[in-house]
């Protein structure tokens, strides 16, 4: 179903396709724990990260190696021919000749789709500015499935909903599962109107609030995001909202016992370390789940 296919946006996937990816990830999870496989022996994955990354870059590299494949890394843009003025299109054409697939992260929205137009091999979007981050969404869905439930889910997306590409992608995907979505943010960081409109047209129940206490008793999952300094064109705007939400155990009073708290990481001060040891915290397991999910994608796209 995904063979030789680009992975650019969650809007390109049906629920049936997502379910197949999640089921494949579950079957591969034992290999992600270290058993290893030779499914992609001889295959090469190119990593092109024009923005900093820890989890996404390393989990893709781990996933490829757990499947018996290898990786090549562009390194920093300053150390490549991009520093000499080479266009992204030409760089993609060249790297596509060396590898069987390309993972790209880039600060400009739409860059992954542009790369796909010129690439001779499948392109996987690892984040394009404030646009989309589909593989993060797939691991988020996998986490929800493993730690809570996808059907009849009530979820609060909290924090930077304006610039947060993870919540943009996740909201679209959750609409396929009939989720009730609460959008919790400062007024200046609310979800883009276009996305809210799209969700409403898809029949998704969406409610916007600014106070987390209004919804804490209602939700099954809290998905908390960092206020991203690097996305703000105006430092004054960032400083105005930088500490809008900082969740402590006190904020969880009245929450469901089975509440699960997620975060795409890295965190700064959005979640108190005191929450780490509670049964609610799943964000470090969420980070690990990126390995089996990305293994599933690579297998489905590249396996002969």
pLDDT bracket for residue 243 (50, 70, 90): low
Integer Cα distance of 96 and 101 in angstroms: 7
Provide the H-helix boundaries in 148-267: 165-175, 193-201, 235-241
pLDDT bracket for residue 238 (50, 70, 90): very low
Strand ranges (E), 213-284: 221-224, 260-262
The pLDDT mean for the chain works out to 90
pLDDT by residue (tens digit) across 68-115? 999 999 876 665 556 567 799 999 999 999 999 999 999 888 999 999
- Count CB-CB contacts under 10 A for residue 303: 12
pLDDT the model gives residue 269: 82
Residues with Cβ within 8 Å of residue 60, at least 6 apart in sequence: 45, 47, 71, 103, 124, 126, 135, 294
Of 293, 291, 204, nearest in space to 20 by CA: 293
pLDDT by residue (tens digit) across 151-166? 999 999 998 898 888 8
Strand arrangement, sheet containing 44-49: 70-73, 44-49, 101-106, 123-128
B/e letters for 72-109, b = 16+ CB within 10 Å, e = fewer, are: eebeebeebebeeeeebeebbeebbeebbbbbbbbeee
Mean pLDDT of 174-198: 92
Per-residue CA distances from 84 to 88, 96, 111, 156 (Å): 12, 19, 19, 45
122 or 270, which is more confident?
122
pLDDT bracket for residue 215 (50, 70, 90): very high
């Amino acid at each position: 179903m995904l063979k030789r296919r680009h992975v650019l946006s969650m809007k390109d996937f049906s629920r049936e396709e997502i379910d197949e990816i999640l089921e494949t990830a579950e079957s591969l999870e034992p290999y992600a724990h270290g058993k290893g496989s030779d499914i992609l022996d001889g295959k090469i994955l190119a990593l092109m990260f024009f923005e900093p990354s820890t989890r996404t870059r390393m989990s893709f590299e781990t996933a490829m190696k757990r499947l018996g494949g290898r990786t090549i890394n562009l390194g920093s843009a300053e150390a490549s021919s991009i520093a000499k003025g080479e266009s992204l299109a030409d760089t993609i054409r060249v790297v596509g000749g060396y590898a069987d697939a390309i993972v790209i992260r880039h600060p400009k929205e739409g860059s992954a789709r542009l790369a796909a137009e010129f690439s001779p091999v499948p392109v996987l979007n690892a984040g394009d500015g404030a646009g989309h981050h589909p593989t993060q969404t797939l691991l988020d869905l996998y986490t929800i499935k493993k730690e809570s439930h996808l059907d009849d889910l009530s979820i609060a997306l909290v924090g930077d909903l304006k610039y947060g590409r993870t919540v943009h992608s996740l909201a679209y995907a959750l609409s396929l599962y009939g989720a009730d979505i609460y959008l919790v943010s400062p007024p200046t960081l609310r979800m883009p109107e276009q996305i809210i409109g799209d969700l409403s047209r898809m029949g998704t129940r969406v409610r916007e609030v600014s106070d987390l206490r209004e919804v804490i008793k209602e939700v099954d999952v809290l998905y908390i995001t960092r206020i991203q300094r690097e996305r703000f064109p105006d430092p004054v705007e960032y400083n105005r909202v930088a500490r809008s939400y900082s969740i402590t155990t006190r904020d969880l009073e009245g929450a469901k016992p089975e509440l699960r708290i997620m975060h795409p990481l890295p965190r700064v001060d959005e979640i108190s370390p005191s929450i780490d040891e509670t049964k609610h915290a799943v964000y470090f397991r969420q980070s690990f789940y990126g390995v089996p999910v990305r293994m599933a994608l690579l297998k489905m796209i590249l396996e002969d």
